[in-house]
A and B are shown apart, each in its own frame.
Chain A
Amino acid sequence: KAGVTQTPRYLIKTRGQQVTLSCSPISGHRSVSWYQQTPGQGLQFLFEYFSETQRNKGNFPGRFSGRQFSNSRSEMNVSTLELGDSALYLCASSLDGPGGTNTGELFFGEGSRLTVL
């Protein structure tokens, strides 16, 4: 069974630009959640989508948004990029809710590494 696929793996943007990252979950998984990982702040929960609806949201500004399509694939968008947005963005899928709820084992992709110059 194919794992979680994230594209692109690496990208470089400049301040003020916007970026879209894509995540294809494991087949049959309906929940997709996104995380930001930085050396200073560690792993931080961005948001979670289930059946095309945002179900949970972390404490990030509105510049961070996402969506989920009917095939469970998800995208996240960051507008007006800032230097501090440089990070590894991880996507995870699960059968139902994300880790910590119900049976919630999260399956992570390898991430998209964003560098903002």
Chain B
Amino acid sequence: LAKTTQPISMDSYEGQEVNITCSHNNIATNDYITWYQQFPSQGPRFIIQGYKTKVTNEVASLFIPADRKSSTLSLPRVSLSDTAVYYCLVGDGGSSNTGKLIFGQGTTLQVKP
């Protein structure tokens, strides 16, 4: 069974870069690693997805080492509106677990002015 570990919380200031790392072992070999953002009383919202190395979109970057045992979400120049909970999502490893998804515990990011 895949296991994920994220920091429970992080604090930052406006304009800083924030890096949130998720450790994940025994993940599905062929699956992507995805990150979601969730605000109170809302469902999670897709941020970024990658398989290996580095992926960048208009809001974030995702770094995945070759062994895929961790991933780091990087948020450049955060603002107050980035205060939210961030989850990593991986596929469970093992043929009997194909298609089962595992969310990280979530990292609550508090951005201060």
Contacts and interface: CB of A to CB of B under 8 A. Distances in A.
Interface of A: 4, 33, 35, 42-45, 48, 55-59, 90, 92, 97-102, 104-111
Given A100-B91, A108-B45, 11 more contacts: A43-B103, A44-B103, A56-B99, A58-B100, A90-B44, A100-B90, A104-B34, A105-B49, A106-B36, A106-B46, A108-B42
Contacts of A59: 100
Nearest to A105: B46
Contact of A100 (B34, B44, B45, B87): B34
Given A108-B45, A110-B41, A99 B87 contact: no
Contacts of A100: 28, 31-34, 89-91, 101
A58 B91 CA distance: 11
Given A99-B49, A99-B89, A100-B33, A109 B43 contact: yes
A13 B103 CA distance: 27
Contacts of B33: 100
Contact of B43 (A4, A55, A101): A4
Contacts of A111: 43
B43 A90 contact: yes
B18 to A, nearest CB: 20
Contact of B101 (A42, A98, A105): A98
B25 interface: no
Contact of A104 (B32, B42, B105): B32
Interface string B38-71: 0001111110010000000000000000000000
B1 to A, nearest CB: 9
